Chains A and B, each alone.
Chain A
Amino acid sequence: MDIGVIIAGILTLAIYTFLYKDNPIYRAAESLLIGLAMGYVLVIYWQTAFMDRIFSPLLNESDWWVLIPLILGLLMFSRFSRKYSWLSRIPIALMIGAGAGVAIPAMLYARTLKQISASVMPLITESGGFNFEALVVIVGLLSTLTYFYFSREHKGIIGKVAKLGTYFLMLFFGATFGYTVMSRMSTFIGRIDFLLSDFLHIIK
């Protein structure tokens, strides 16, 4: 049997021992996972950020502009100094500021306007029939938005519409819960399949 499969099987079982209770085998596997994950990300970023975006353009193309992000990045190390730790705020401020600037039009377009336009559908179809789904979507959207409208007390008609909104929210949470459980279940089935077929050879 492949040594990789044996190691993967043992580590899978080590993680599953947590289902009984927290134990040293699980904690050892968990520690290994943390270390490996960090090491993996470090290598990937070394390649994609340092090699591809700094060293390669600087040494091969003499692109001096890459010195700007390099200096900004190096400022992050000032966090290890008490006196100069404020310098690390400069790259953070640039990232947050630029991110905020990009986010405003992006959020307005993708999260607001697009969602509204997708929700407003014709109630009467070309054949003259009534589009019940369009009514459900628009009622659901407006009632849920009313539930999140806190500038007026939820009393009277607003209260009733907001209550309808909670029913739609519960439908959403229930459906999301169901799909989340099923996705986790499919991963679990995948791991059990690996253990029984590749690792233990019980299933052929």
Chain B
Amino acid sequence: MPTRLPLLICLVSGVVMFLQYFSRHPVAKLIYQTVTNDWWQVIFAFTLIVGVASFIKITLRKISQKKDKTYSLIALGGLILMPVLALIGGTNIESPFQWAFENLLAPMQATVFSLLAFFVASASFRGFRARSIPAAILLGTALLVLIGRLPIAEHISESIPDLTFWIKNYPSMAARRAILIGIGLGSMTTALRVILGIERTYLSGK
């Protein structure tokens, strides 16, 4: 029962969702919209709650063990703050919740995102070496694109920005499409394995 029932549900839901693609009947459309728009969202919301509950449990354990107590308290405070602000003033554009998003969350997220510029630059400085033809192509293309996207590129040569766009639109696009085709074929195979119950990693491999 613990394994067979989920496998059966997976098979039935997979086959139904696969078959609805080939039907234009309103019922098929309704099934697709209900499952993907409503059911998925609701189940995902519950999985999120389970995740948050697990996070709270771990954080409280850390606090009681006095391990990273300050940071755990800050994280917990942040987690409580947003729902409290939403309860107090709602979530409209002028609410405290939105204020916290714009002045606390969004700036920090953007800053962490921008930190990657330094890590990528330092990693590439250490790792990029033109030891072989493929490595030289990689290095050359990266430099060309970096220069080509700068305003100074037009002053060096007017053809640099055009060349950058040409690389992006043709040879780079060709390789990208080949990768996408590979992903598509791989995804289809994996999906088929999941529906047929061959791939069971979501059941803890049972």
Q: Using a CB–CB distance below 8 Å, which chain A residues touch chain B?
A: 4-5, 7-9, 11-12, 15-16, 18-19, 27-50, 53-54, 65-66, 68-70, 72-74, 76-77, 79-80, 86, 89-108, 110-112, 115-116, 118-119, 133, 136-141, 144-145, 147-148, 165-182, 184-185, 187-188, 190-191, 194
Contacts and interface: CB of A to CB of B under 8 A. Distances in A.
User: Considering the complex of A and B, which 3 residue pairs feature the smallest CB-CB distances, nearest first?
Assistant: A35-B78, A140-B174, A111-B184
B120 A180 contact: yes
B160 interface: no
Interface residues of B, number: 122
A92 to B, nearest CB: 6
Contact of B114 (A93, A148, A187): A187
Residue among A42, A100, A170 facing the most chain B CB atoms (10 A cut-off)? A100
A8 B184 contact: no
A28 B74 contact: yes
A76 B6 contact: no
A148 B178 contact: yes
Interface in B48-67: 48-50, 52-53, 55
A90 B6 contact: yes
B187 to A, nearest CB: 5
14 contacts: A32-B78, A42-B49, A66-B42, A69-B43, A70-B42, A73-B45, A95-B43, A97-B10, A112-B185, A136-B174, A138-B174, A140-B173, A165-B178, A184-B120
Given A90-B5, A184-B117, A40 B139 contact: no
Given A97-B194, A100-B194, A32 B171 contact: no
A31 B75 contact: yes
Contacts of A180: 120
A93 B14 CA distance: 9
Contacts of B192: 100, 104
A201 to B, nearest CB: 17
B28 interface: no
A97 B103 CA distance: 40
Chief secondary structure at chain B's binding surface:
helix
Nearest to B19: A101
B6 to A, nearest CB: 4
B78 A137 contact: no
Is the contact region of chain A dominated by helix, strand, or loop, or is it mixed?
helix
Nearest to B76: A35
Contact of A182 (B6, B10, B18, B146): B146
B166 to A, nearest CB: 8
Contact of A100 (B14, B99, B143, B184): B14
A119 B177 contact: yes
A28 B120 contact: no
Given A111-B183, A144-B175, A171-B167, A73 B43 contact: yes
Given A43-B83, A93-B6, A181-B117, A105 B18 contact: yes
Most buried by A among B15, B140, B174: B174
Given A4-B103, A19-B118, A43-B86, A105 B21 contact: yes
